[in-house]
């Protein structure tokens, strides 16, 4: 009689301590991958839809963000320049383009430069890349603005060869990069730093709150705390919230200058409109600088403002509680992905899971649903979405590999049993 070839040792997927150890290590690897993906400013179609619907649900149910109330309306004043334009000749007078009225802007900044202690900060999201004959007053006024209380937008423009060039304003005024990268699914993430350049919300945060955002050894830090460089924005101020009797105060540039005449003096006017406020100057009436977001189409300046608010709310900070949550969640997801669902099922569910419909239910109850729940809980508790599409694809491959290994193991087991029986007889 020959020796039995039946496997004597249980396969690795039946050794629970080993599986839990592997799942923990795999969960830590998933954590690292999640942080890497979060710092990329791309989102997949599936993630985009999940972000949209969870945002709509949160806004509809709570009418506010879960991270806190909306910022007080007395903290901001919006000046819309979309109705205050002038024509500028270009190409040696062969054509004209519309730019913001530089004379009116000069009057506004002349006023702001004389009362720097009244307001908190001025954000001017207007691209000043071309000179005009009406620049003298504006240039002189901007030169007198407080450097720590003023920021203007700078952009990347393609040159004649197609390479991107960093274009700062033509005026002597602090500026920072104001860009947002849209995917085909819309805008969802905002980066705080690109290479060595800090973006406008980051510089605004540093100036207003004596903060510090930096990169060290491949990691990002905000005020010496571990931070994300790109995260999905939780929009606290939307375009629909601005203007009207109940919204954040807003006026056109022309209305502001006309309202100045109604006050006894400029000091009274400044205190009446801008006392302790962040003044936001931008073109908010057109479609040129409007982008698809989780909250619908929003002006670019509101994307930057909400990025600043995310820094203020510390939603970019990587908390130890969030890391612990992800380690536990990813360890559980890994365990399910390696061994399958092992909970005791009620009879009705066991019967329902038979046949082709059952295989579909098993897939829904497995890794994909756990990944969706993981990112939803992360969003509603910590304000951070996770990138899960690549994980779902990865686990689909892992599950197929494990099923193949199990099938081969069972075949070897049957062969061993057959050989044992044949040897017996």
Residue 5 within a domain: no
Position 60 scores a pLDDT of 64
Position 342 scores a pLDDT of 43
Shared domain for 117 and 212, answered yes or no, is yes
Shared domain for 22 and 84, answered yes or no, is no
Shared domain for 410 and 324, answered yes or no, is yes
Domain boundary (285, 312, 339) is at 312
Residue 2 within a domain: no
Position 160 scores a pLDDT of 60
Main-chain phi, psi angles of 298, to 5 degrees: -135, 145
Domain boundary (283, 312, 341) is at 312
Residue 61 within a domain: no
Position 113 scores a pLDDT of 93
Q: Global pTM?
A: 0.78
Domain boundary (312, 341, 368) is at 312
Residue 63 within a domain: no
Shared domain for 48 and 104, answered yes or no, is no
Residue 6 within a domain: no
* Helix 200-209 × helix 300-312 angle, to 10°: 40
pLDDT one digit per residue (tens) for the chain, 425 residues: 444 444 456 666 567 788 888 889 999 999 998 888 887 766 666 566 667 776 666 666 655 554 456 789 999 999 999 889 988 877 776 788 888 899 999 999 999 999 999 999 999 998 888 888 888 999 999 999 999 999 888 876 656 665 656 778 888 888 888 876 655 556 667 888 888 888 999 999 999 999 999 998 888 999 999 998 887 777 888 888 898 888 999 999 999 888 877 777 888 889 989 999 999 999 987 767 777 777 778 888 998 999 999 899 888 888 899 999 999 999 988 888 777 644 444 555 555 555 555 555 555 557 778 888 888 888 778 877 787 777 888 887 887 787 787 777 777 777 776 776 676 65
Residue 100 within a domain: yes
Which residues constitute the domain of residue 40? 12-56+319-424
Q: How many domains, in total, are found in the chain? A: 2
């Amino acid at each position: 009689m020959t020796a039995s070839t039946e496997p004597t040792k249980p396969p690795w997927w039946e050794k629970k301590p080993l599986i839990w150890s592997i799942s923990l290590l795999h969960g830590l690897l998933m954590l690292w991958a999640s942080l890497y993906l979060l710092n990329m400013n791309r989102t997949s179609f599936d993630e985009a839809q999940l972000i949209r619907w969870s945002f709509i649900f949160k806004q509809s149910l709570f009418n506010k963000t879960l991270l806190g109330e909306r910022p007080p309306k007395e903290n901001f004043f919006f000046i819309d320049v979309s109705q205050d334009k002038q024509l500028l000749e270009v190409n040696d007078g062969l054509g004209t383009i519309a730019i913001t009225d530089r004379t009116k802007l000069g009057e506004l900044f002349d006023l702001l430069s004389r009362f720097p202690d009244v307001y908190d900060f001025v954000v001017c999201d207007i691209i000043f890349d071309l000179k005009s004959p009406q620049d003298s007053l504006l240039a002189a006024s901007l030169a007198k603005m407080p450097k720590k209380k003023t920021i203007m937008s700078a952009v990347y423009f393609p040159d004649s060869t197609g390479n991107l060039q960093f274009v700062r304003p033509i005026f002597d005024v602090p500026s920072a990069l104001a860009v947002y990268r849209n995917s085909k699914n819309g805008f969802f993430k905002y980066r705080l730093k690109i290479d060595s350049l800090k973006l406008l919300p980051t510089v605004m945060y540093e100036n207003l709150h004596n903060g510090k955002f930096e990169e060290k050894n491949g990691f990002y830090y905000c005020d010496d705390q571990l931070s994300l460089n790109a995260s999905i924005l939780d929009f606290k101020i939307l375009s629909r919230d601005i203007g009207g009797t109940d919204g954040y105060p807003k006026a056109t540039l022309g209305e502001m200058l006309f309202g100045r005449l109604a006050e006894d003096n400029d000091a009274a006017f400044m205190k009446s409109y801008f006392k302790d406020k962040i003044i936001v100057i931008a073109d908010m009436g057109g479609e040129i600088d409007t982008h698809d977001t989780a909250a619908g189409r929003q002006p670019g300046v509101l994307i930057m403002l909400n990025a600043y608010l995310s820094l203020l709310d510390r939603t970019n900070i990587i908390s130890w509680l969030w890391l612990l949550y992800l380690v536990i969640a990813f360890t559980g997801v890994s365990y399910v992905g390696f061994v399958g669902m092992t909970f005791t099922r009620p009879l009705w569910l066991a019967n329902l899971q038979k046949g082709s419909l059952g295989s579909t239910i098993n897939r829904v109850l497995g890794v994909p649903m756990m990944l969706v729940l993981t990112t939803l809980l992360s969003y509603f508790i910590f304000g951070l979405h996770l990138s899960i599409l690549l994980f779902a694809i990865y686990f689909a491959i892992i599950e197929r590999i494990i099923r193949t290994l199990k099938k081969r193991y069972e075949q070897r087991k049957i062969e061993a049993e057959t050989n044992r029986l044949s040897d017996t007889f």
